[in-house]
Structures are given as C-alpha cells and as structure tokens.
Chains A and B, each alone.
Chain A
Amino acid sequence: MARDRPASRTGEEPAATRLPPFERVVERHGPTVLRFCAARVGADRAEDCFQETMLSALRAYDTLRDAGATRSWLLSIAARKAIDAHRARAGAPEPVGDPAILDAPSHDAAPDRRLAGAALWASVRELPAKQREAVALRFAGELTHREIAEAMQISEAAARRNVFEGVSRLRALVAEDDAR
C-alpha cells in the first residue's frame, strides 16, 4: 500500500537544478514582459519597467519553484514594478503611447491596428486598478484566468470577472471616444 512506503524524499532534485538557463527565459518570455509593461505604464516607461523586472527576476531566479510557471512569475514581478512606477509618478498624467515600441517600423501588425492598440491601452489605464491589471495580464501577458488569479493573488472567479468587467467597460470607453 502506498501509505506504507517510507517517507523518503531523497529522489527529489533541488529546485535550482531544474531551472533552464536564464537566457532561455529572456528569449521566451522577454517580449511578453515588455508588452505587458507597455500596456501597464505606457510605452515610454515600458523599458524601465521591463529592465527592473528582469533584473529582479534574475536576482531571485533560484527562488522560482516551478519552471513551468515562469511567465506568470515574471508578470507578477512586472505587475509590482508597474504599481511602483505609478506610485513614483503619482499625479503625473498617464502617457498615451510612444512610437519607440508601439509603432516600430518592422512591426507585423497593420499600422492602423497598432495605433488603435496604443490608444486602446491608454484607455485600459483608465480602468479601475484590478480591472486594468487583469486585462493587461490577460491580453498583453497572455495568461490564463488561473494564472492571472495566481499573479494577482485573487480567486480564479474574481480574475475572470475582472477581465470581463474590464473589457466591458473598455468597450463603453471606446464607444464614448468614438461618439466625441
């Protein structure tokens, strides 16, 4: 019977030995982190947010327990950095989008869609805190609702609700802009 087995854990490798080289983390998840930062703090401040996130992640890399959860771990760090950036600039107006990242020439997306995206993300930053966080994690970070829940330390149902309500309110904001 399973429960009669001796409680030995000697077969387990230490977590650090299972982590892939950080270079691969940068390659696989770096662009997502940058996109998330651009979504959360605006493109002109995105790089600072990205650099601070990746350096913090590198510093704390050996504390990552599950290599399979790397992206949501990175984005939870990025989410904290984004909040710090907002606090540091409390009162300063939110920037609307900057050509450096959003309108770079060799971008895949069509230019009009890109511009729409930049303006749209500026609208996302007008959403209530939890909604904009959830919307950014969902669409810029491409996390599942479950991963969003982990990154925001809320329930999966709350994550789903925040995404849904965020997008619904965003649609209303966009409709208002169009009406103007």
Chain B
Amino acid sequence: MTDKREERDREHDLEQLTASLRGAADPAPAEWERIRHELTTRATAQGLVDVAFERHDSPLGPLLIAATTDGLVRLGLPSEDEDEILDELARRISARVLLTPRESLTRARRQLDEYFDGGRREFDVALDWRLTTGFRREVLRATAQIPYGRTASYAQVATRAGRPKAARAAGTALATNPLPILVPCHRVLRTGGALGDYRGGTQAKARLLSLEGGTG
C-alpha cells in the first residue's frame, strides 16, 4: 500500500516537474516579433534570403509581393492562397524564402499605393521574369507595353508576341501572369470588349480598369 502511494506521489512529482520544464520559456509575442525581425535582418545582410516577401494592403485586399535580388518576381492577388504561392516560390526558385523587407519591395509598395491613389500611371521597378518562359513570357512582355488607360484584345497581344493565331495560348499566359497589376494583364480584354477572365476575379479586373478610366 505504502509502496503504491509513494509511487503515485513520485509520479505526481515527476508530472509537476515536467510541466514546469515545459512551461518555462516561451517568448512573449512582442519579444518573438523582435527576435524574428533581428533574424531576417541578419539573414538579409548575410545574403541568405533568395526570395523576400511582404504583405501589402490595397483596395483590392491584401497583396503578397515577393522579390529576388534581380527584382520583383511574384505578386499574389487577394484571391490567391498565400501558402500555395510560397510553396511555388520554394519549389521553383529557392526554399530560402523569408518574410522580410527589401529595398525593391519597399519601392514597389510605395508605387502600388500611388497607383491605387490614381497618382501613378507606370511602375518603375525591376522585374524578375524567371517564373514565366517561352511564348508566355513574350505575351507578358507585350502586355507590359499596353499603356495605362488603354486596352488590347487577346488576339492583338498574341500578334505582338509573334503568334497571331495563338489568342487562346495568350489567354493562358495571361491567366498565369506571376506579376499581375505590375504587368497589366487586366488591360487585355476579349475581342469586342467583354471583360474576360482574371486571376484575381473579374470584379478585381473591372475595378482596376475603372481606376484607370479605361472603360469610360
């Protein structure tokens, strides 16, 4: 009887001990934020961040913007899943992806704010095109030339990319645009002026076009 009781007491002691050990040293959220920030700052300074990203509030909703050392590589619209975007960046570029400021991101965020306020008509930022290749890249480069407030048709963009009959393929290229808004795929419409699809939803497309005054 006594043995059993002693054993129970000992187990109780052990439980208390391990509970105390476990409860010992979790950082407070503010402290953790500071420590995390210090980590990403050092990682950036040591050149260990291959893809830096930040979240940015916009009238469309929260955007995600990511940059390599070459320039902006991805802009995620509110309709997109952040985890999927980050997984894709890790898979296709490098797993050294961190949430951290970078000069190119700061610059892009400021310009996005100006754009949404109606004060900016062109983006002056370096783009890294590595997430798109071949004909798709050509289509996006052609799309990048469409001026603010103007629109083009899928067929026109296909022609400018060198394949006049590939309007459908041009549509696919635009649907997978890794840099929406910055590469203005929202300015490409169906022949006859119907809105057509948009990665961020047709509502977002209409909103961007009306911001630019392109739909009258």
Contacts and interface: CB of A to CB of B under 8 A. Distances in A.
B36 to A, nearest CB: 7
Contacts of A100: 31
Q: Is the interface of B mostly helix, strand, loop or mixed?
A: helix
A109 B23 contact: yes
A173 B43 CA distance: 40
Given A22-B96, A23-B97, A106-B30, A140 B24 contact: yes
Contact of A106 (B29, B38, B89): B29
Interface in B60-99: 86-87, 89-91, 94-99
Contact of A38 (B24, B36, B43): B24
Contact of B24 (A30, A62, A121): A121
B32 interface: yes
A100 B35 CA distance: 11
Interface string A83-108: 00000000000000000111011111
Given A23-B99, A55-B39, A140-B21, A31 B87 contact: no
B31 A101 contact: yes
Q: Kindly name the residue among B19, B21, B46 whose own CB sees the greatest number of chain A CB atoms within 10 A.
A: B21
B134 to A, nearest CB: 21
Contact of B90 (A20, A31, A47, A104): A20
Contacts, number: 136
B39 A20 contact: no
A116 to B, nearest CB: 5
B86 A21 contact: yes
Q: Kindly name the residue among B18, B24, B39, B90 whose own CB sees the greatest number of chain A CB atoms within 10 A.
A: B24
A19 B26 contact: no
B35 A43 contact: no
A101 B24 CA distance: 9
Interface residues of B, number: 39
A21 B20 contact: no
A24 B86 CA distance: 9
A79 interface: no
A140 B24 CA distance: 8
B25 A167 contact: no
A167 B18 contact: yes
B97 A118 contact: no
Q: What bracket does the count of chain A residues touching chain B fall in?
A: 35 or more
Contacts of A106: 28-30
B13 A113 contact: no
A16 interface: yes
A135 B17 CA distance: 11
B126 interface: no
B25 A55 contact: no
A8 interface: no
Top-10 shortest CB links A-B: A117-B24, A104-B28, A21-B97, A139-B21, A38-B25, A19-B95, A109-B23, A21-B90, A21-B86, A35-B25
23 contacts: A22-B97, A23-B53, A23-B86, A30-B36, A34-B32, A35-B26, A39-B24, A46-B25, A47-B38, A51-B35, A51-B39, A58-B96, A101-B25, A101-B31, A114-B23, A117-B23, A117-B24, A120-B21, A121-B24, A140-B21, A170-B17, A171-B13, A174-B17
Given A20-B87, A22-B96, 14 more contacts: A16-B94, A17-B91, A20-B90, A20-B95, A22-B95, A35-B27, A39-B24, A62-B95, A101-B27, A108-B23, A117-B20, A120-B17, A139-B22, A167-B17
